[in-house]
Amino acid sequence: VKRLASRIRRHPNDTIVAPATAPGRGSIAVIRISGPDTFRILDQAFGPARPSRQPSHTVRLYALPGSRGRLLDQVMLAVFRAPRSYTGEHMAEISCHGGTVAPARIVARLGSLGCRPARPGEFTRRAVLAGKLTLSQAEALPDLIAADSPAAFDAAFARYQGGLDRFARRLAGSLTDLLADLEHAINFDEDAPPPRIARAVSRTAAALRHELRRARQNRYLHQGVRVAIVGRPNVGKSSLFNRLVGSARAIASPLPHTTRDRVEATVMLGSIPVRLTDTAGLVAGPRRGIGRLADAQTRRAVEDADLLLALFDASGRFGPHDRAVTAATEGRATVTVLNKWDIRDPKAWPAAARVLRSTFGIRHPASNRAFAISCHTGAGIARLEREVRRLVAPVSGDAVASGERQLTALQACLEALERSRSAPTCETAALEIRSAVDMLTQIDPRFPADNVLDRIFSRFCVGK
């Protein structure tokens, strides 16, 4: 009852109006109106023509009279009766002449007859409250509209079509089955979760981890990806930066500590905008003065980056400063790069790839191959670029999530599953799995809280 009451209270009953097309010159502009008084207001606005008699889901041509007998504009009117409309309410769309005058006049006229100007995203907000769209579907809309490449559009459209709802439902279903299984084990007084359940949890966690990776990568389509080049002083970071950017943007010199500030440039890798950062060299041990400031900048760049290029010098031996680099990149998505391959020291680097891993125990989730390059001759640069491209490329097929809210919930779900894997007893494992299911249901709550709705719809345009 409480839920119902809050739903009724929140269910708006005023009638809203807004232009749905971008302002400026265009052949037509569309004005939307939604709410219980839609047809009363239209009848008053359109005079004897009486749009309330127009059948639902039809379009008619009207001359729209103004207040003093003059015509405001000639328009097409599409009407939609509740509940078969975008918002679930009575709705109409007026297509008038584009530009600034006609739409403003019509909105003002409808306003004078009792409509309120809609807030950003308010039509979609009503659609969500009426159960026409889930929150996740609604959240895909701004990305759909802002997409500036076909790949970005397709990814957002897949989300708009409800990919996440299906994924979350499937996942919640299999976790609920697991819970039943666990409760059965509890009844039989088993201490630790039986191996078959542990295996099933691992499988589910792996599927979720895979999906999260896809989702993060699809996010790059909209937001771009941040790639930072790190390495000890003088390994050729600025030289690589210039190679990748295609011009001498950063100063490269034989002296160590040439670069102090972060230097940034954006390059396109396929359909993905890449924000590339050149950093000051990392060294082992404490630093003073400008060095310390430079070091702080570099560490911030490392933290901000989605992908790191860890650069080493193949012409010399791996030293303590390199160890500072491997420490900084440990556990991060990193591509290992051996530069100065043209003057490499075969004694120091017998083979590029596996050496770093086996000798120094570097483990990077993104790539376990090392790339030999020369910024002087250009050798290996194209291969390195291909690898970066591969790592940040959008995943084909419809990745299901990519809003911050969904990613956070899926990540929390994954963490609960991981905790349940190491749970000592059936009871604690069951507790964690139950909280994992809760995280999934939070993604698309049937009755979203007002502050969640406010945050989401503040990103929308008026009229959407």
Interface with ligand GTP (CB under 6 A): 231, 233-239, 252-254, 256-259, 280-281, 339-340, 342-343, 374-376
By CB under 5 A, is residue 339 in contact with Mg ion?
Answer: no
By CB under 5 A, is residue 258 in contact with Mg ion?
Answer: yes
256 binds, among Mg ion, ligand GTP, none (CB under 5 to 8 A by kind): ligand GTP
Please, what sign has the CA dihedral across residues 447, 451, 452, 457? positive
Any idea what the Cα angle at residue 97 is, between residues 92 and 102, rounded to 5°?
Answer: 85
Helical H runs in 150-274? 150-160, 163-187, 195-223, 237-245
* Sheet with strand 307-313: strands edge to edge: 263-269, 272-278, 225-231, 307-313, 334-339, 370-372
* Smaller CB separation from Mg ion, 51 or 236: 236
Please choose, from the candidates 162, 90, 163, 153, the residue with its C-alpha nearest in 3D space to the C-alpha of residue 133. Answer: 162
* Shortest distance, position 388 Cβ to ligand GTP, whole Å: 18
* Smaller CB separation from ligand GTP, 56 or 377: 377
* Shortest distance, position 88 Cβ to ligand GTP, whole Å: 59
* Shortest distance, position 87 Cβ to ligand GTP, whole Å: 56
Please choose, from the candidates 277, 173, 212, the residue with its C-alpha nearest in 3D space to the C-alpha of residue 414. Answer: 212
* Shortest distance, position 421 Cβ to Mg ion, whole Å: 44
Query: Do residues 230 and 328 lie in contact, with contact meaning Cβ atoms separated by under 8 Å?
Result: yes
* Smaller CB separation from Mg ion, 259 or 374: 259
* Smaller CB separation from ligand GTP, 235 or 426: 235
Among positions 259-278, residues that touch Mg ion (CB under 5 A) are 259
* Smaller CB separation from Mg ion, 209 or 300: 300
* Smaller CB separation from ligand GTP, 298 or 406: 298
Cα 443 from Cα 212, distance rounded (Å)? 14
257 binds, among Mg ion, ligand GTP, none (CB under 5 to 8 A by kind): ligand GTP
By CB under 5 A, is residue 238 in contact with Mg ion?
Answer: yes
3-state secondary structure of 276: strand
Cα 43 from Cα 90, distance rounded (Å)? 13
Among positions 106-125, residues that touch Mg ion (CB under 5 A) are none
Residue 447: burial class (beta carbons within 10 Å; 0-12, 13-18, 19+): exposed
Cα 198 from Cα 196, distance rounded (Å)? 5
Q: Which residue's beta carbon is nearest to the bound Mg ion?
A: 259
236 binds, among Mg ion, ligand GTP, none (CB under 5 to 8 A by kind): ligand GTP
* Smaller CB separation from ligand GTP, 128 or 276: 276
396 binds, among Mg ion, ligand GTP, none (CB under 5 to 8 A by kind): none
235 binds, among Mg ion, ligand GTP, none (CB under 5 to 8 A by kind): ligand GTP
* Shortest distance, position 259 Cβ to Mg ion, whole Å: 3
Scan for tokens 């100063």, then name that residue. 251
> What DSSP line would sit under 353-389, residue for residue?
HHHHHHHH----SS---EEE--TTT-TTHHHHHHHHH
| Footprint of Mg ion (CB under 5 A) | 237-238, 258-259
